[in-house]
Amino acid sequence: MELLFPFKGLNKGILSSKQPIDTARDMQNVRPYKDGRLRGGQRPGLAKASTTQGGSAVVAVATVTVVV
């Protein structure tokens, strides 16, 4: 079985059984071009929002049930 990269992008407008060639029903964070070449790959992330670690360590986790 040969799997091809969906270079024509996302297509949710038609039944999956009639999906056009080179399209995908579901995809995230991908791009068809890299360095000007048609090759497919992961979209790069943006710069870090913060260089410091936020918050503190988790001390406890609890489940609370309320009966009224």
At residue 23, the pLDDT reads: 86
The residues, any chain, with a CB within 8 Å of residue 46's CB and separated by 6 or more, are none
For residues 17 and 47, give the distance between their C-alpha atoms in angstroms, rounded to a whole number. Answer: 39
CA–CA gap between residue 30 and residue 39 (Å, rounded): 11
DSSP classification of residue 56? -
Instruction: Enter the pTM of the model.
Output: 0.48
Domain locations in the chain? 1-44
Q: What is the pLDDT of residues 9-58, one digit of tens each?
A: 888 888 878 888 888 888 888 877 777 787 777 777 777 766 777 667 77
pLDDT for res 49: 65
Q: Indicate whether 60 pLDDT > 80.
A: yes
**pLDDT value for 46:** 74
